[in-house]
């Protein structure tokens, strides 16, 4: 392939954008809102962006497509059938879009993830036009498909049937060697399940993807049965994308001193500690919530908060705050209220406002289950599992209480009295939940360990259903 296709990964949201070029001009597919990354890449390659393409109105992030097209003067390709509040180049199934002498796009209607979803075949010219690959958005993914319930459960069954037909359409129209370039599937909740490979082709998907191996009814049944909850903030993304997102402002956030931090915490605002959970457990400011930058901070924060509540960031460096700002604009949270950097001792004039968090592993829980709670740790009166429902159904600890992390703020009263030992799959979500519980006055022990170790460590597991 003489064309160059670069992946711009946004791992925190589980998505990919693409820049495809022939060495002179380029197209950009499904750009995230922080378009400086894309402009830098195009500049480094010495190519001019002439077309910006959306496969669908996104539900998991705010698009940068409108602003990128405005800045570059590119055509902005959006489905003609989608109702939007901005000027765009409307495209539909069957359209061909010339890009250069050696590159063109063919538009394919592939409904399923949304009703008006499009895929774009990238053809290259070497004598005749031949398909190099297809940008599939939320249609055909690596080993899976985009979920079909984001527009409402009432449409999920119909869209799942559309998704099956669309995947078959792609497989029938394209050669086995054509590359598949999806937007979702790398951790995004827009995907029905997660990618099973880092790259793929139509031929590989015919072998590996259930949508191309199962009959329609069976695919629909299995897909809908496997769907778990998705972030609450998704409700705001489609609205913002249809309206036309504003440019981002990534200038530094106002600094907060110790008095302001105390006022914000007392007012019930979210003050988020971006440090690693081990640092948080060692020392943190009372009333803060742990969501480290080492995990999908924006996904969980956007899911947990009441939309519009002021957010303040605590971090060791200004660069970490800047990274968090970038994460948040991608989901439409434009400006944090304040920030403070350094160490916890610098965030309060009162040392009594600093807290530690007890930490254990699954070996300690197994010992506690056997009546031998390790010294220095309180006995677990409640074991709280904050993983998602699908993870819980696949297996869980005997006697554990299940409250998925997104439900914790509103279900604190449902968690039985007593000392709570809280776990998730890795320790990341458990730390967030433990901080919320501690802020509510509960005695908490964080199990900072991989759930995959639990059974081997001797933890009693619930019998298989």
For 164-206, write each residue's pLDDT tens digit. Answer: 999 999 999 999 999 999 999 998 999 988 888 899 999 999 9
Q: Are residues 227 and 372 in the same domain?
A: no
The CATH number that applies at residue 79 is 3.60.15.10
Q: Is residue 462 a part of any domain in this protein? A: no
Q: Is 128 helix (H, G, I), strand (E, B) or coil?
A: strand
DSSP of 4-69: EEEEEEETTTTEEEEEEESSSEEEEES-BS-THHHHHHHHHHT-EEEEEE-SS--SSS-B-HHHHH
Residue-wise DSSP of 321-340 = HHHHHHHHHTTT----SEEE
Q: Are residues 282 and 136 in the same domain?
A: no
Q: Is the pTM of this model over 0.85?
A: yes
Give φ, ψ of 405 to 5 degrees.
-50, -45
Claim to verify: residue 160 and residue 80 sit in the same structural domain? yes
Residue 166: count of CB within 10 angstroms of its CB: 26
408: β partners: none
Structural domain includes residue 79: yes
- Indicate if 264 and 394 belong to the same structural domain: no
Rounded to the nearest 5°, which phi and psi values hold at 305? -80, 160
Find out whether 112 and 148 touch, Cβ atoms under 8 Å. yes
Give the relative orientation of helices 297-304 and 318-329 as an angle to the nearest 10 degrees.
60
> Are 51 and 130 in the same domain?
yes
Q: What is the pLDDT of residues 370-423, one digit of tens each?
A: 999 999 999 999 999 999 999 999 999 999 999 999 999 999 999 999 999 999
Segment 10-69, tens digit of pLDDT: 999 999 999 999 999 999 999 999 999 999 999 999 999 999 999 999 999 999 999 999
pLDDT at site 454: 98
Does residue 458 form part of some domain? no
The total of structural domains in the chain comes to 3
pLDDT category at 1 given cuts 50, 70, 90 is low
Which of 212, 243, 274 terminates a domain? The answer is 243
In this structure, is residue 278 part of a structural domain?
A: yes
Place of tokens 């190519």: 47
pLDDT at 4: 97
Domain end, chosen from 300, 329, 355, is at 355
Q: Give me the domain span that covers residue 169.
A: 4-243
Summarize the confidence of residues 248-264 as an average pLDDT. 96
Reported as a single tens digit per residue, the pLDDT across 330-385 is: 999 999 999 999 999 999 999 999 999 999 999 999 999 999 999 999 999 999 99
What CATH number is associated with residue 320? Answer: 3.40.250.10
Q: How confident is the model at residue 298 (pLDDT cuts 50, 70, 90)?
A: very high
In this predicted structure, what is the pLDDT of residue 97?
A: 98
Whether residue 377 is found in the same domain as residue 317: no
**Co-location of 222 and 132 in the same domain:** yes
Strands 15-21 and 25-29: antiparallel
Residue 125: beta bridge partners? 129
Boundary residue ending a domain (243, 275, 294): 243
Cβ count near 342 (within 10 Å): 11
């Amino acid at each position: 392939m003489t064309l160059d296709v670069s992946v711009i990964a946004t791992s925190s949201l589980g998505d990919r954008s693409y820049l495809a070029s022939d060495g002179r001009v380029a197209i950009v597919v499904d750009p995230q809102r922080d378009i400086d990354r894309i402009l830098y890449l195009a500049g480094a390659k010495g190519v001019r962006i002439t077309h910006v393409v959306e496969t669908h109105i996104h539900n998991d992030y705010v698009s940068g497509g409108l602003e990128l097209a405005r800045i570059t003067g590119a055509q902005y390709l959006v489905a003609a059938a989608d109702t939007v509040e901005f000027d765009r180049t409307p495209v539909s199934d069957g359209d061909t879009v010339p890009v250069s002498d050696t590159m063109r796009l063919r538009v394919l209607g592939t409904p399923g993830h949304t009703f008006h979803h499009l895929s774009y075949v990238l053809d290259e010219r070497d004598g005749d036009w031949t398909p190099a690959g297809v940008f599939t958005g939320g249609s055909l993914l690596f080993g899976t498909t985009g979920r079909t319930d984001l527009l409402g459960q009432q449409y999920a069954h119909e869209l799942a049937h559309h998704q099956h037909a669309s995947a078959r359409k792609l497989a029938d129209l394209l050669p086995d060697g054509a590359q598949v370039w999806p937007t979702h599937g790398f951790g995004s909740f827009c995907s029905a399940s997660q990618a099973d490979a880092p790259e793929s082709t139509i031929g590989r998907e015919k072998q590996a993807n259930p949508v191309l191996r199962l009959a329609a009814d069976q695919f629909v049944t299995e897909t809908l049965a496997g769907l778990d909850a998705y972030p609450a903030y998704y409700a705001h993304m489609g609205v913002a994308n249809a309206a036309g997102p504003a440019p981002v402002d990534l200038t530094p956030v106002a600094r907060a001193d110790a008095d302001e931090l105390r006022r914000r915490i007392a007012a019930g605002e979210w003050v988020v500690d971006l440090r690693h959970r081990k640092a948080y457990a060692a020392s943190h400011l009372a009333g803060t919530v742990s969501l480290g930058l080492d995990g999908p901070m924006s996904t969980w924060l956007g899911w947990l908060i009441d939309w519009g509540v002021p957010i303040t960031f605590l971090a060791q460096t200004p660069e970490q705050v800047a990274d968090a700002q970038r994460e948040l604009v991608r989901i439409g949270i434009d400006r944090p209220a304040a920030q403070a950097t350094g160490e916890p001792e610098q965030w309060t004039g009162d040392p009594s406002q600093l807290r530690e968090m007890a930490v254990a592993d699954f070996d300690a829980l197994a010992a506690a289950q056997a009546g031998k709670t390790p010294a220095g740790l309180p006995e677990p009166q409640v074991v709280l599992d904050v993983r998602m429902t699908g993870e819980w159904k696949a297996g869980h600890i005997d006697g554990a209480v299940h409250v998925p992390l997104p439900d914790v703020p509103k279900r604190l009263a449902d968690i039985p009295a007593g000392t709570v030992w809280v776990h998730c799959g890795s320790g990341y979500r458990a730390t967030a939940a433990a901080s919320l519980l501690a802020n509510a006055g509960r005695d908490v022990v964080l199990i900072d360990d991989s759930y995959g170790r639990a059974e081997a460590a001797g933890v009693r597991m619930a019998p298989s259903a």
